Structure 1
Amino acid sequence: MKTLVLFDGVCNLCNRTVQFIIRHDKAGRFQFASQQSEAGQRILQQHGIPTEAALADSVVVIEEGRVWLESDAALHILYRLGGVWRIPALLRWVPKGLRDWVYRWVAQNRYRIFGRRESCLVPTPELKQRFLDTA
């Protein structure tokens, strides 16, 4: 089963998160697409997620047709990574309103805190097959 992560391609925090996932995803189950890419835009549209909402959320996770946003998306990624990464995923028991409030604060301030890129992440040739729309 593949897990698709749609990320803000110009966000440094988001790019570091993708690199973290790749480093810890030994099974290669995660695939990625920048929300700004054609594939990312098409997938957002297919799932009825407005681009502005997705970029504000900064990460969208899709698995078997199900969509996770905000803190649910981040915690689902940790859960799917397995091993010790399932421990922080236990935060899903914290009330969603509180989790999402913290998540939204970080998302709204991510460019100021972590910076911004001029262009989207370009995967290395070894990782190209993990990214959609990188032909």
Structure 2
Amino acid sequence: MTELASYSFRNDPNVPPHDHDKGLIVFDNECIFCSSFIRFVFAHDPSGRFLFTAAQSPLGQALYRHYGLDTTDFSTNLVIVDGILHTKMDAFATAVRCLGFPWSLLAVVNLMPRRLVNAAYDLIAKNRYRIFGRYETCLVPSKELRARVIE
């Protein structure tokens, strides 16, 4: 877990309202790797536990600002579950844990030394566009996924 803000985003008047009963994943929608992760979570989340928003959206920008993160360098996905912010590899582990078995087994990454896994995460994040590519146009999600995306 990350302690980036002294008060909940729920009390921040600058954060647009959304359904707080669901988890929220904030992702870089220009990053092919990040968008693929969102499609993976969506495909394995039949109960609709998560909503999604792009880091570039008004909600994403407000959350990045709220947590004191750079609003132009989206080098971590944000996963917010039960009002708690998770970043970097902890964000990944939290998301897959919420998907249940067998995907929750991937949360084993949280048993590894945090410094090591976050260094690996940072290395991939820093080079994500070069390794995986970048969308030049906005990805058009399916109707089902679009229903769970907050613009």
Normalised TM-score (structure 2) = 0.80
The structural deviation recorded for 1:64 is 2.3
Residue pair 1:9, 1:119 contacting (<8 A) in 2 also = no
Choose which of 20, 33, 37 in structure 2 pairs with 1:13: 33
Partner of 1:86: 104
Contact 1:61-1:69 within 8 A present in 2 as well: yes
Whichever residue aligns with residue 16 of structure 1, its letter is S
Q: Does 1:51 align with 2:71?
A: yes
Letter in 2 for 1:30: F
Structure 1 counterpart of 2:40, which letter?
A: F
C-alpha displacement of 1:52: 4.1
User: Which runs of 5 or more residues in structure 2 are unaligned?
Assistant: 1-20
| Alignment pair present for 1:115 and 2:133 | yes
Q: Deviations over 1:25-45 (max 9, x none)?
A: 111111100001112112222
- Residues 125 and 88 from structure 1, CA distance in 2 versus in 1: closer, same or farther, beyond 3 angstroms? closer
Tell me the amino acid that sits aligned with residue 118 of structure 2.
D
Deviations 1:77-117 (A, max 9, x none): 11111111111212211110001011111111111110001
Separation in 2, partners of 1:60, 1:2: 14
Q: In structure 2, what residue type is equivalent to 1:102?
A: A
Query: Can you list the C-alpha shifts for 1:48-84, whole angstroms capped at 9, x where unaligned?
Result: 333245x022x11112221111111011111111111
CA contact (8 A) 2:89 2:121 kept: yes
Q: Kindly provide the amino acid, as one letter, of the partner of residue 56 in structure 1.
A: S
| Count of residues in correspondence between the two structures | 131
Does the CA-based 8 Å contact 1:31-1:130 persist in structure 2? yes
Using structure 1 for the length normalisation, give the TM-score: 0.89
* Superposed counterparts of 1:101-112, under 5 Å: 101-112=119-130
CA distance in 2, matches of 1:105, 1:38: 27
Write the letter of the residue equivalent to 2:108: L
Q: Which residue in the other structure is 2:83 paired with?
A: 65
Contact residue 44 and residue 50 of structure 1 kept, 8 A: yes
Query: Which secondary structure does the structure 1 equivalent of 2:143 belong to?
Result: coil
Q: Alignment identity in percent? A: 37
Q: Which has the higher helix share?
A: 1
Equivalent residues of 2:26, 2:53 under 8 A apart: yes
